[in-house]
Amino acid sequence: MSWWNMFLGMLLMTDQETLLEKRRDDYGTLRITENREGYRFLYFGEQTEQSCIFLADPAWLEYDYTRAMLLGTFWCKSNPQMTLLGLGGGALANCLVRHFAPAGVRVVELRGEVLALAREWLGLSADPRLEVSIGCAEKHIAAAPTSCDLLCVDLYMEGGLSRLQLQADFFAACQRALRPGGVLVINQWQMGETGLPYAAAMLRDLFGDSYLQVQVEEGNIILFVPAAGDPPLALDRSALGAWAAGLEPQLGYSLAPYIRDLSRAGDH
């Protein structure tokens, strides 16, 4: 999720989207809406647009920040084991299963109703390689050292960033969850107009200058962190560009803009 999605939600005109479902759980209200173009939206609360699904193709990624997160797969080995912390509407999970040949995609989602809505209304894939469990991301990751090759952290609540996205111990555990050669992908909000993520100082203390980052239009900053003990991720734009060009026909969009803006954390 991004601050831009929250802003768009606040501007929502009720006659532009039709309410399909509204539920409450222990964390607040969840809503599913649909517009005339065939997009469905998951809202946390009344105004926070959390996820967008194109119903004709639930593996389509509409948001820039989710497309940018796909860059993490470039550095992974073939048939990687993937873990996602936070399901949202399920578009990222659907995309990874369909287009990136994972050995498996494990998703940890805090809210059982989010999973129910994703299955009932948002076209969550029934691919047997996709496994979703309900539970606490912090507890899961602490108990799962060297368990995955790609780990995506996208944890938000109605009010914004989850507290975990600001905690050094949590991100250290996330890095320990990677196998050698693995990549940690973090969706962070930008701190004002600085070009830095909210947790910039803490992240620099943890990971030094070994990670890459890209800022996207919605205001998010996506970080790419190597496994502990691994060398910095290679920033080879030529190889990345060729890889992205090969993916473009099946994805239906280009990853080239995110490759162009990719940089080392130490350059900021």
Joined together, the tokens standing for residue 10 give 């606040």
Nearest Cα neighbor of 151 from 228, 56, 261, 257 is 228
Joined together, the tokens standing for residue 142 give 């602490």
Judge whether 152 and 141 are in contact, CB under 8 Å.
no
Gap between the Cα atoms of 266 and 2, Å rounded: 24
Gap between the Cα atoms of 153 and 140, Å rounded: 12
Q: Please, what are the domains in the chain?
A: 3-54 (no CATH), 64-267 (3.40.50.150)
- Which phi and psi angles does 16 have, rounded to 5°? -90, -20
Per-residue pLDDT band at 13 (split at 50, 70, 90): very low
pLDDT digits (tens, 9 = 90+) for 68-123: 999 999 999 999 999 999 999 999 999 999 999 999 999 999 999 999 999 999 99
Judge whether 178 and 148 are in contact, CB under 8 Å.
yes
Instruction: Name residue 29's beta-bridge partners.
Output: 24
- Mean pLDDT over all residues of the chain? 91
Q: For residue 191, what are the CA distances in angstroms to 21, 54, 214?
A: 34, 30, 14
Gap between the Cα atoms of 183 and 233, Å rounded: 9
Joined together, the tokens standing for residue 179 give 């196998």
User: Could you tell me the pTM of the whole model?
Assistant: 0.92
